[in-house]
Amino acid sequence: MPSAIVSQSGGPTGVINASVVGVIEEVGKHSEIDNLYGSIHAVEGIVKEDFVDLKKLSVNVLEGLAASPSAALGSSRDKPDAEYCEKILSIFKKRDIRYFFYIGGNDSANTCYIINNMADEAGYELRAFHIPKTVDNDLLVTDHCPGYGTAAKFVACALMGDDLDNRALPGIKIDVIMGRHAGFLTAASVLAKQRRDDGPHLVYVPERPVSMDKFCSDVEGVYKKLGRCLVAVSEGICDTDGVVWAQKTKAQEEKDAHGNIQLSGSGSLADFLSAQAKAKVGIKRVRADTFGYLQRSFAGLQSPVDASEARNCGRQAVAYAITGKSGSVAIKRISSGKDYAVELFRTELANVAEKTKSMPDEFINADDNGITEAFVEYAMPLVGPLPKTHYLGNYPRV
């Protein structure tokens, strides 16, 4: 009897386990699938045959798993070349694995695509399905990515509290948020705004280069007007020459398997921006925080919509694969605002593999330092209900 395998790849998210649970649930409905393997550490686990049996998990464990952050099967940053993919295929053949479910970003979609093609050429019947996942929300075709809504909720709740903190003890506060090429997660900072003068007052995304002069002059302008300034900055913001600022701080020299410099897991960009603002604007109380890994793996803070969609994407991938198809699951928004609703559809692996999406122009303001209402309409349904906050400092005086 044919078996199936599911793996989790790339950076963890708050709902990537919900997608695994979706796969487990749907596979459980199909007695024609013998084993359901979970590979430990993604492709690394496949080539080592480091597998757990996912058919034996109780309903209680499944519900707990679906709510649990990070990748419960472990992940990997390996980017398999042709030889690596051949090795994966040989393991699939050895174990009679005919269904491959790979939860990840555009690189994972590409790995799926390569292995699917190899299987085709070898005449080995395989259904390879990519299940989308990324906090960056940068995949093509799909309206948005599972994992984004939960990370965006973290960012919104963080900025909400941080804005009140900045009101309580005014000064300049800079928050550095994940996002190498796409500003979606940093843009989510504006979901925190409840009052007219709430921060973030300035938002910088990788899609819009910014000079240090403009950055400091923007900050100074807000500070002069409000007596404080809260800034949200993508880790991937770049100078007008296209070089990312994080690289110009020279503190970051480590590169990953994809040749990218390390952006997360360091406070150097935040500290650099903080020093610039302090020196050029001449304001003493300047603070900077880097949200780091908390924004993708915080426990107990899922967006319910995101968790549900991630689970459905896992289920749907299995349902498509059973009908003999390979591909990637994508989300189509069929209704917006309060009536927000989606449907899932299948797209070809080639449409998602290796490519990334940036923020559309209509989400970024004309001054390149803020986010529009169009973005709020896009993102708010993905995040779900947010806490309401109170501030008494703008009440009438007695």
x/- map, 153-172, a copy of itself, by CB under 8 A: ----xx-xxx-xx-xxx---
Give least dist CB 35 to a copy of itself, A.
Answer: 7
Alpha-carbon distance of 364 to 337, in angstroms, equals: 20
Judged by CB under 8 A, which of 260, 265, 361, 367 binds a copy of itself?
265
By beta-carbon proximity to a copy of itself, the closer residue of 28 and 209 is: 28
Asked if 136 is an active-site residue, the reply is yes
To which residue do tokens 């923007």 refer?
218
Residues in contact with 163: Cβ distance below 8 Å, sequence separation at least 6, in sequence order: 192, 193, 198, 199, 200, 230
CB 383 within 8 A of CB 188: yes
Give least dist CB 94 to a copy of itself, A.
Answer: 13
* Element (DSSP H or E) covering residue 327: strand 327-335
Residues 18-47 that bind a copy of itself (CB under 8 A): 35, 37-38, 40-41
Residues 175-194 that bind a copy of itself (CB under 8 A): 192
Residues 137-156 that bind a copy of itself (CB under 8 A): none
117 phi and psi angles, rounded to 5 deg: -65, -40
Q: How many residues line the site for a copy of itself (CB under 8 A)? A: 79
Give least dist CB 327 to a copy of itself, A.
Answer: 26
Residues in contact with 356: Cβ distance below 8 Å, sequence separation at least 6, in sequence order: 106, 136, 138, 139, 140, 181, 182
Residues 234-263 that bind a copy of itself (CB under 8 A): 251, 254
Residues 272-331 that bind a copy of itself (CB under 8 A): 274, 284, 286-294, 296-301
The structure tokens listed for 305 are: 């919509």
CB 129 within 8 A of CB 320: yes
Judged by CB under 8 A, which of 4, 5, 7, 11 binds a copy of itself?
11
Which one is catalytic: 81, 107, 136, 213?
136
205 phi and psi angles, rounded to 5 deg: -120, 160
Radius of gyration of the chain (CA): 22
By beta-carbon proximity to a copy of itself, the closer residue of 22 and 69 is: 69
* Element (DSSP H or E) covering residue 230: strand 229-234
Query: Under the criterion CB under 8 A, does residue 271 sit at the interface with a copy of itself?
Result: yes
Residues in contact with 170: Cβ distance below 8 Å, sequence separation at least 6, in sequence order: 227, 228, 285
x/- map, 45-74, a copy of itself, by CB under 8 A: -----xxxxx------x--xx-xxxxxxxx
Give least dist CB 393 to a copy of itself, A.
Answer: 5
DSSP β-ladder status, 172-177 and 202-204: unpaired
Give least dist CB 174 to a copy of itself, A.
Answer: 9
By beta-carbon proximity to a copy of itself, the closer residue of 116 and 266 is: 266
By beta-carbon proximity to a copy of itself, the closer residue of 94 and 323 is: 94
DSSP β-ladder status, 202-204 and 127-132: unpaired
Q: What positions carry a catalytic annotation?
A: 136
